[in-house]
C-alpha cells in the first residue's frame, strides 16, 4: 500500500467542560463529559490516495473477463481482503503515536493489517450461570425474540461501515437530584427515613414477634427470657449495630464487658447483652409459616428479604432522580460460611462473596437500583441473554430521557446497545471482541499488533466500535461518542518532566473518546462501595439473608448521606460544631438519634441505682435476708472474687456480703 501524504489531519481543541453539563451534539465544540485536564483532538475522516487507487483497480478488474475459475477465486479473495482493510485503513482511524517531540501521524504498514493473533471463537460469550430471580417477570418469547432480531441484524456483512457518519446525541433535560420536602431543620434521622421508613421498622417488629412465637411452638417450650419487642427497641437495636461498625470489637459480647477499658457504657445503658442476643435470634422480615418450599408454586429464593427489597427499592428510586451519567457494575458482600449464592469474582478486591448488581450515579455514587444473584438459571434461554436482561431491568423507567449508561464487558454487546438506543438511552463500555455483532475487521486476527495509542473504528449510525491499545488491547462499543476523536490525559501527576521530554508527550497515551468517557464515568459503583465499606453494619452470622439485610441498611445510610450532602450544599445539620460533616459524623449522629433515650429494663435499673447511690437507705435500699440459699455476692464477682451470701438488696435484686460490699456496690 502506498504511503499516505502527511498533512493537516487534526485540529487541536482544548476544553474545560464540567462532568455534569448538558449533553453536546456534533455541532458543538467539545465532547461529552471530558475532565478539565484532558486535551482532545478531532481527526476528520479522509480517504488516502492509496485507497482510491485500490478501489479503481478493483473496478477495472471487475469489468475485465477472468481467464479461469482459479483466477476468479483469487480475485474474490483479494477483494474480500481489501474490504476488510478499508474498514480499518480507510475509515479515518489514523494512528496516533507519542514521541519525545510530541504527537505525530504514521502510516500503518500493509502487512500488519492481516497479522494473525490468537483466534477467537465465534460463539456468544454472554452465556452465564447467573440468574436474577428478583427481576420482574417477563415473557421469554417477547424478550428474546427482540434480542434475536437485533443479534441477526448486527451480524450481517453490510452492518458496519466506515467511521464517517454524523452521530446524533439528544440533550439531557430531565429533572435530577434529591426529591424530598425536608426543610433546613431536618436532621440525619429525617434523611434516613426517606430511604428506610418507619413502616419498615414496624414490619420488622411484627415479624420478629411472630417468629419468636413460631420458634417456641416448634420447640414445644416457652422462652422465659423473651418478651415482645416494640419499634423503639428495634430502632435502638439497629442503632447499636451501626455503632458496632464504627467501634469495632472482635466479639459483640465485649461491648457489655465489665472491664472499663473494653466495655461500652452506652451499650450497657441501652439494653443488656442477653436482650441483644435474643433480638439477634428472633430478628425476621417474613412470615415463616406461609413460606413456600422449593419446588412449590410461588417459591421465591429471596422470600426472606422480599418485603425489604420491595420497600427499599421503591424508596431508593423515589428519593433521588437519576442524573445524566449512570454506572452499572457488580459489588460483593463479604459473607462467612458456605452459601449456595456465594460466587467467586477474581477481578474484585473481595474475591468471594455474595454478588449484587447495582445502578449508581456516576458523579455522587447514589445507588438507584440493585439486583441480587441467587443461583443458576433454570433454562438455557435465560442464560443466553442474562446481561441483556439485567441491564434492561435496571434501567426500566428511564426510557426516552437520554441518559448515558456505562457498564463493564460482562454486559456490553452490540444488540444491547442497539436496544438501549431504540429506547432513548446511550451507552458505552468495553466488550469481548468474540461476541456476536462486533465487526470482524476489528477482531484481533485482523488488526494485528497495535502500538500504544493506535486505534481503529467502525461505525453504524450512533454505534461506534473501537479497538485500541492502552495498557493492553481494549475493544469498546459506544453510542454516545463521535468517531475520530482522541484525548490525552495527564501522564505524570507530580508534574515533573525530564529535560527534552516536555509538552504533549509528558501527558500520557492518547485514547479514543469512548475509552475516555468510560474511564471518567465508570466510577459510580466504586464510589458507593468506598462509602459503604468504610463502616460495616451488623455482625457475621450463619444466616445468608442477614448479610443482605445489613447490606441494604448500610446502603440506605450511604444514600441518605448523599441526599443530605447535596440537599444542604455541604453545610452540616444544625447543632454540629465540627469543621467538616463527614460520613462518620453522619453515622454516629444517626445511631444516637435512633437510640434516643431508650433504656431497657437493666438500663433503667442501673440509672435508678446511680440516682440512689448517694443515700441508698433514703430510697429503701437496705441489707436484708434474700433467701435461705446462699448466692454469689455481686460486688465480689465484679472484683473477680468468689464469696456467697444469703443477704443482699431486694430493690437491686442482688446478693451482697455482710460488711463493706453493700455500701461499695451502691457507690
CATH at residue 429: 3.30.2170
pLDDT digits (tens, 9 = 90+) for 79-99: 444 443 343 333 333 333 333
| 407 and 546 within one domain | no
Are 420 and 441 contained in the same domain? Answer: yes
- What beta strand segments (E) does 5-154 contain? 11-14, 39-42, 95-99, 102-106
Please give the Cα distance from 618 to 355 (Å, whole number). 61
The number of distinct structural domains making up the chain is 3
Instruction: Give the end of a domain, one of 499, 534, 569.
Output: 534
Q: Where are the alpha helices (DSSP H) in 95-179?
A: 110-113, 140-154
- Pair (452, 369) in one structural domain: yes
Banded pLDDT at 197 (limits 50, 70, 90): very high
Residue 236 has pLDDT above 80, yes or no: yes
Measured over the CA atoms of residue 48, residue 49, residue 51 and residue 56, the dihedral's sign is positive
Q: Are residues 520 and 554 in the same domain?
A: no
The pLDDT tens digits of the residues spanning 430-486 come to 999 888 889 998 988 888 888 888 899 999 999 999 999 888 899 999 999 989 888
Asked which of 54-63, 539-548, 628-637, 657-666 is least confident by mean pLDDT, the reply is 54-63
- Specify the 3-state DSSP secondary structure of 493: coil
The answer to whether residue 559 is domain-embedded is yes
> CA triplet 248, 249, 253: central angle to 5 degrees?
130
Same structural domain, 436 and 524: yes
- DSSP code of residue 107: P
Question: Which range marks the domain in which residue 588 is found?
Answer: 179-293+536-602
Q: Are 169 and 200 part of one and the same domain?
A: no
Lowest-confidence pick of 234-243, 269-278, 625-634: 625-634
CA distances from 134 to 313, 370, 383 (A): 11, 10, 15
> Averaged over 173-187, what is the pLDDT?
93
Residue 467 included in any domain: yes
Q: Same domain, yes or no, for 481 and 361? A: yes
Nearest-Å Rg of the Cα atoms of the chain is 33
In a domain, 144, yes or no: no
pTM: 0.73
At a CB cut-off of 8 Å and minimum separation 6, what does 51 contact? 86, 89, 90
d(Cα 213, Cα 409) in Å, to the nearest integer? 49
Percentage of the residues of the chain whose pLDDT score is greater than 90 = 41
Statement: residue 297 has pLDDT above 80: yes
Residue 215 placed within a domain: yes
Q: Are residues 525 and 556 in the same domain?
A: no
**Percentage of the chain lying above the pLDDT 70 cut:** 68
* Statement to judge: residues 383 and 478 lie in one domain: yes
Query: What are the pLDDT digits (tens) for 481-519?
Result: 989 888 876 654 444 444 444 444 445 778 899 999 999
More confident residue, 46 or 211: 211
Please report whether residue 1 resides in a domain: no
Report if residue 125 sits inside a domain: no
Q: Are residues 467 and 578 in the same domain?
A: no
Residue 196 covered by a domain:
yes
Residue 35 forms part of a structural domain: no
Q: Which of residues 615 and 409 earns the better pLDDT score?
A: 409
624 or 506, greater pLDDT:
624
338/281 same-domain check:
no
200 with 217, same domain? yes
Average pLDDT over residues 157-178: 90
Over range 395-414, report the average pLDDT. Answer: 93
Q: In terms of pLDDT, which residue wins out, 191 or 616?
A: 191
Task: State the pLDDT at residue 425.
Answer: 96
Instruction: Quote the CA–CA distance of 5 and 106 in Å, as a whole number.
Output: 10
Bridge pairing between strands 404-407 and 325-333: parallel
Does residue 559 contact residue 316 with C-beta atoms inside 8 Å? yes
- Give me the pLDDT at residue 142, please: 47
Amino acid at each position: 500500500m502506498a504511503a499516505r501524504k502527511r498533512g493537516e489531519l487534526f485540529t487541536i481543541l482544548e476544553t474545560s467542560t464540567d462532568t455534569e453539563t448538558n449533553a453536546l451534539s456534533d455541532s458543538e465544540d467539545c465532547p461529552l463529559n471530558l475532565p478539565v485536564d484532558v486535551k482532545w483532538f478531532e481527526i476528520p475522516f479522509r480517504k488516502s490516495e492509496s485507497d482510491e487507487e485500490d478501489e479503481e483497480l478493483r473496478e477495472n478488474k471487475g469489468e475485465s473477463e477472468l481467464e479461469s475459475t482459479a483466477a476468479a477465486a483469487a480475485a474474490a479473495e483479494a477483494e474480500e481482503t481489501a474490504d476488510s482493510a478499508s474498514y480499518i485503513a480507510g475509515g479515518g482511524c489514523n494512528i496516533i503515536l507519542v514521541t519525545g517531540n510530541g504527537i505525530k501521524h504514521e502510516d500503518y504498514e500493509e502487512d500488519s493489517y492481516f497479522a494473525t493473533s490468537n483466534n477467537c471463537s465465534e460463539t456468544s460469550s454472554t452465556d452465564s450461570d447467573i440468574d436474577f430471580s428478583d427481576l420482574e417477570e417477563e415473557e421469554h418469547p417477547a424478550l428474546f425474540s427482540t434480542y434475536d432480531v437485533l443479534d441477526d441484524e448486527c451480524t450481517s456483512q453490510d452492518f458496519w461501515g466506515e467511521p464517517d457518519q454524523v452521530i446524533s446525541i439528544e440533550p439531557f433535560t430531565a429533572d435530577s437530584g434529591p426529591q424530598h420536602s425536608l426543610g433546613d431543620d431536618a436532621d440525619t434521622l429525617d434523611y434516613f427515613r426517606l430511604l428506610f421508613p418507619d413502616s419498615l421498622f414496624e414490619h420488622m417488629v411484627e415479624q420478629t414477634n411472630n417468629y419468636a412465637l413460631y420458634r417456641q411452638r416448634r420447640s414445644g417450650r416457652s422462652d422465659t427470657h423473651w418478651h415482645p419487642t416494640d419499634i423503639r427497641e428495634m430502632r435502638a437495636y439497629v442503632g447499636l449495630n451501626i455503632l458496632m461498625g464504627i467501634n469495632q470489637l472482635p466479639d459483640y459480647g465485649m461491648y457489655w464487658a465489665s472491664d472499663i477499658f473494653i466495655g461500652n457504657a452506652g451499650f450497657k445503658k441501652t439494653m443488656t447483652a442477653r436482650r441483644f442476643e435474643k433480638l439477634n435470634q428472633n430478628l425476621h422480615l417474613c412470615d415463616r409459616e406461609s413460606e413456600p418450599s422449593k419446588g412449590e408454586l410461588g417459591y421465591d429464593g429471596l422470600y426472606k428479604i422480599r418485603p425489604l427489597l420491595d420497600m427499599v427499592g421503591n424508596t431508593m428510586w423515589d428519593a433521588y432522580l437519576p442524573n445524566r451519567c449512570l454506572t452499572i457494575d457488580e459489588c460483593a458482600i463479604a459473607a462467612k460460611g458456605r452459601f449456595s449464592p456465594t460466587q467467586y469474582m477474581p477481578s474484585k478486591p473481595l474475591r468471594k462473596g455474595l454478588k449484587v448488581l447495582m445502578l449508581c450515579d456516576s458523579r455522587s455514587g447514589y445507588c438507584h437500583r440493585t439486583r441480587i444473584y441467587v443461583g443458576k438459571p433454570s433454562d438455557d434461554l435465560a442464560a443466553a441473554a442474562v446481561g441483556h436482561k439485567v441491564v434492561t431491568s435496571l434501567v426500566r423507567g428511564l426510557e426516552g430521557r437520554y441518559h448515558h449508561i456505562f457498564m463493564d464487558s460482562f454486559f456490553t454487546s452490540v444488540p444491547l446497545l442497539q436496544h438501549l438506543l431504540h429506547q432513548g438511552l446511550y451507552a458505552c463500555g468495553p466488550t469481548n471482541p468474540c461476541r456476536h455483532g462486533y465487526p470482524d475487521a476489528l477482531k484481533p486476527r485482523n488488526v494485528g499488533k497495535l502500538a500504544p495509542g493506535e486505534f481503529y473504528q467502525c461505525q453504524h449510525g450512533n454505534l461506534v466500535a473501537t479497538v485500541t491499545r492502552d495498557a493492553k488491547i481494549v475493544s469498546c462499543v459506544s453510542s454516545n461518542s463521535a468517531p475520530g476523536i482522541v484525548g490525552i490525559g495527564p501522564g505524570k501527576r507530580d508534574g515533573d518532566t525530564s529535560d527534552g521530554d516536555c509538552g504533549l508527550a509528558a501527558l500520557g497515551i492518547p485514547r479514543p473518546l469512548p475509552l475516555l468517557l468510560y474511564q471518567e464515568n465508570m466510577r459510580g459503583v466504586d464510589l458507593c462501595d468506598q462509602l459503604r465499606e468504610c463502616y460495616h453494619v451488623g455482625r457475621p452470622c450463619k444466616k445468608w439473608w442477614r448479610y443482605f439485610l445489613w447490606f441494604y441498611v448500610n446502603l440506605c445510610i450511604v444514600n441518605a448521606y448523599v441526599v443530605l450532602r447535596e440537599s444542604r450544599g455541604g453545610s452540616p445539620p444544625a447543632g454540629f460544631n465540627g469543621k467538616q460533616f463527614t460520613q462518620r459524623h453522619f453515622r454516629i449522629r444517626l445511631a444516637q438519634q435512633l437510640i434516643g433515650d431508650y433504656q431497657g429494663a437493666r438500663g433503667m435499673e442501673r440509672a435508678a441505682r446511680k440516682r440512689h447511690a448517694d443515700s441508698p437507705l433514703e430510697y429503701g435500699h437496705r441489707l436484708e435476708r434474700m433467701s435461705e440459699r446462699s448466692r454469689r455476692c455481686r460486688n465480689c464477682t465484679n472484683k473477680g472474687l468468689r464469696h456467697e451470701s444469703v443477704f443482699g438488696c431486694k430493690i437491686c435484686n442482688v446478693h451482697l456480703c455482710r460488711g463493706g460490699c453493700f455500701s461499695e456496690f451502691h457507690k
